[in-house]
Structure 1
């Protein structure tokens, strides 16, 4: 049944009353959102008119734009558009009821909030639509003339207290809708042009229609993500990036993506030249991209579109498929957004793979700046292969710590009979190179990846294998397997121990185990050492020493993990100890030397907590060594 054509007074529907009551009596940290909602509604009205024009409809030739007028003296703000407008019936229906599916339940949840703070968290940013205007308005008057009806224009008026009136407007009124807002005393800032302009730029800066504030166009930067890539210059990308991020430097790379199926979206990402706000392996409060719906910003720094390990990217994602007034909670659970996230992540990784292949210098610069964040992707098992291909490491292939290699490049340099990828962790390149664990690998000419960050071993463990090659720590390298490879370094072979000497050596190993006691699980002959006298290794199948240190820190465990001490029978120092032991199985110098060797190895591995004993033994050893010289 149509409404009568005269003036009428109406009551809001119950859900609207509840919503308005919450809006009026709750505190809000972001009241400016009302302007975003009004501009979005105006943009929709203009879109509908343009669609009718494309369908051949004859309409009055008026500029398709949004005009905002500020009047500080009268404390009013006016938002006008030349869109399709509304009939009287449409005004009663659209401005007096909530037709959006599920909104009644949404309002019910709001009314059950236990505090103003919880209420603010729920509706301070999303889902309140036109009614958000009552956060700042004492009274709202909406005058509208429909493009599809010859009846006069009507004015809808309400103070948000439970009712509204609709009355005809005398005289000529142009097509479209004008919203006049009489501002509350504590909201008069929204009658100031500068305040309104900054709000428009922040939330509605990329609306496709001109937004004029007191005659000045505010949305001057084009929404490049909606433009064809071949029409955009690098200078335009750089200008957009600097307007978006306020970064004074041009980005290292631009990633412009779009998709129509199965989910429609457009996105534009930038790789900053410098890593900002890096703290404890993550971006503190800076991770996220701006999420738009039809060029309207609905969330700044959305953290659901891109995974954390791609959080170094800055940019925007825009989708026609997401509802404009989606609530924060619904946004987090929205299946469409999850599908967009999966597709965007896949396309970003694909772009970086192509960049790494075609422009390795730029990719290595990106890695040097943002690699620490990217390594967090070791938990993304869905994109495990793409993630692994993008990893970069320093290695023994290079002369310094500046060189970087991929796993694929490592594989291309592998020995013919090599079937494992080897790595070793340490605090620096020098620390890694000095490790006894590298001796056999170095002798065989096998390349070793150097890991300098605590997260690196988690990465290696998660990747596990790459192109069917297992990733193995040098600490766990199988000497028997490596022994099959030919030596590439010439080294003077030590004289082999006789059977009698070997039996004595076994006794020396037993003596060392007695000296060290429970500090080691075993003392055994080393098959991997060529130069160093001893090396400490983890028991077979356990974690590497560097991983153990990380886990101890995480669990606040101050105990020393069990170690196996391997002794090199070809080392000159060990041969000297062997001769001493052969003459006197209780020689005190054997005890001194064993303690010293063990604690020196513990020091190198980062487990020696009290160096005093080691220092005293160094002095004692020097005293013994200089005694013979002096005599």
Structure 2
């Protein structure tokens, strides 16, 4: 006979799984229990706004986290809404019944826009990941409610009875297991609180109970000693006027009391919760220093502030980077109602924007059950697209209205922009007209500007410089011919060049040392060129011992340059790619990175080599011209440099005879 029914989950089976696997990071239990305390306070404040709870005039809401290293306990105290026996039975004894969800459903039409953190009702059980025993003492705000004491030793059995708590709120005490004593270490606990709770919306106080007891004993001892001294002083000098001295004592006492006043460990109103118009530049910089401990000032920032169609606030900073020494790795902290969730979640933050630093708070994010990861759905994609759009609008707007600063920041922000254009088609479409390049005059130009200025000399070629020192010979040649080139010196530029060529098929990028255009050369007869190339190739191969040496004869307009190296753009790029994948040139058959030795027939040294077959100096000059050309292009190997220095000394000796 067919049978129908509902699936049931046995807590004896699921509870061990919750304890072990609910969270990937065990330290997250502190976040969950502090969040629960904040929720309890937020609920009570909502009830006060709605007139269902009467606040005292001096009502001060807070959450306390107390450690006792000797007792190996960790205690979480709040003065929020509290619970009745029925609520403990409903919210604690029934796993995964969300108290926050029930509260919001009950008051959805009355509540203000303050957010409740909890969603799933499982956060409390994270305590059992680190504790052998957990107790709850709670007293509801409801008039006539009785206090409740609840305890559980980590199994599925619990004891619940009337408690003795006299003040509204909840106290949760964890008796840590042998593997979790680290969490009652002051420095470790403070570190976790700083990580997860720095911006929670209720003041959080941290107390080391042992240190508190010591301070209390020292204060009592000091007070007793001061009383004795005060009595002795009055007896010894009862006739003198001590008004001024008493005033000083009062000031000192006030200062000591101010120093002893506990201070919250968190900011309940982080900067991103304010309207951008209410924030000063100094506040933005101070917030950046406090959160990221980076004392180099950020270049600029973007304040995100959106209420519809989803709630998202945050601040993204463009950091100043020394590309020679700093790793280009940012950190974007993701928050949910001011509760830290994770760093650099790629579902929300496009990968290329992870190079930035910042905080983003989105209460509408669809988190999974442990609040530590996202459910990847279309809503998350909309948030990601919004962030991308705002960054592109900020950058393009700066280029249009604040070009001076845009150019000043360009060297620092260009890696972000170029990476974004490579990885995101939409971002590329928004930013392609605002990519600028520094030319040899130190001015910034767009790609169309460069091509238009040199259309008669460059055709559709874009010449670029990757190393100003190594390519100085070629730079000077360009300047002599009143030609221009752009600087592409960042690591990402190699990939970015390919990206630009794919989107501009008519444009070809050539490194400044890749070839000699007609602008640098005089015409030479084809037959003459062939004859001279064959003759000089044989001499240079014999002198240098490089059998696969490629020689090309030209008549350069600059007669002072005897020889130079050009490197085929295509071959060099292939060689660099192979090197990136750990393959040598020899294994690919590419030779010496596509190098060609160019000899200038208008130079006297080259003419000497050509016309002096028998001279003992011919071999030396060939070797020297070859090494000088290579030195102007890249460093020599150690043994080659040794030979070059020795040969240079020999040449100097010949000149002095």
5 Å matches for 1:42-57?
42-51=37-46, 56=50
Using the alignment, how far apart are the partners of 2:367 and 2:625 within structure 1?
69
Aligned to 2:172: 179
TM-score (norm 1): 0.71
Describe the superposition over 1:141-165 as per-residue Cα deviations: whole angstroms up to 9, x where unpaired.
3344566898655443212122123
Aligned to 1:555: 582
Using the alignment, how far apart are the partners of 1:127 and 1:562 within structure 2?
66
Aligned to 2:465: 425
Aligned to 2:225: none
Stretch of structure 1 that moved more, 467-476 or 200-209: 467-476
- Structure 1 170/607 Cα, relative in aligned 2: closer, same or farther at 3 Å? closer
State the 1:309 CA deviation: 5.1
2:428 to 372, 375, 384: 384
Aligned to 2:628: 600
Matched, 1:40 2:73: no
Equivalent residue of 1:555, what SS? coil
CA contact (8 A) 1:87 1:144 kept: yes
Aligned to 2:201: 208
CA contact (8 A) 2:437 2:447 kept: no
Aligned to 1:489: none
Matched, 1:296 2:339: yes
State the 1:240 CA deviation: 2.0
Aligned to 1:240: 287
CA contact (8 A) 2:272 2:313 kept: yes
Equivalent residue of 1:601, what SS? helix
Equivalent residue of 1:242, what SS? helix
Equivalent residue of 1:446, what SS? coil
Aligned to 1:508: 532
Aligned to 1:322: 365
Matched, 1:139 2:161: no
Aligned to 1:160: 154
State the 1:13 CA deviation: 1.0
Equivalent residue of 1:157, what SS? strand
CA contact (8 A) 2:572 2:594 kept: no
1:355 to 372, 380, 398: 398
TM-score (norm 2): 0.69
Aligned to 1:96: 93
Using the alignment, how far apart are the partners of 1:617 and 1:59 within structure 2?
95
Instruction: State how many pairs are aligned.
Output: 556
- Structure 1 177/412 Cα, relative in aligned 2: closer, same or farther at 3 Å? farther
Structure 2 residue ranges without an equivalent (≥5): 1-8, 99-119, 208-261, 587-591
Matched, 1:536 2:565: yes
Describe the superposition over 1:443-467 as per-residue Cα deviations: whole angstroms up to 9, x where unpaired.
5423201344454333322332788
Using the alignment, how far apart are the partners of 1:187 and 1:565 within structure 2?
69
5 Å matches for 1:188-587?
199-213=192-206, 216-220=263-267, 222-248=269-295, 250-260=297-307, 264-273=311-320, 275=322, 278=325, 282-283=328-329, 287-300=330-343, 306=349, 310-311=353-354, 313-323=356-366, 327=370, 330-331=373-374, 337=380, 339-360=382-403, 362-363=405-406, 366-368=409-411, 377=420, 379-382=422-425, 383-384=427-428, 393-398=437-442, 405-407=444-446, 410-411=449-450, 414-415=453-454, 417=456, 419-420=459-460, 422-427=462-467, 429-435=468-474, 439=477, 441-464=478-501, 470-473=507-510, 474-476=512-514, 479=517, 503-515=527-539, 519-520=547-548, 522-526=550-554, 530-531=558-559, 532-539=561-568, 542-544=570-572, 548=575, 551-552=578-579, 555-557=582-584, 559=586, 560-577=592-609, 580=611
- Cα RMSD, aligned residues only: 4.7
Using the alignment, how far apart are the partners of 2:580 and 2:291 within structure 1?
40
CA contact (8 A) 1:520 1:562 kept: no
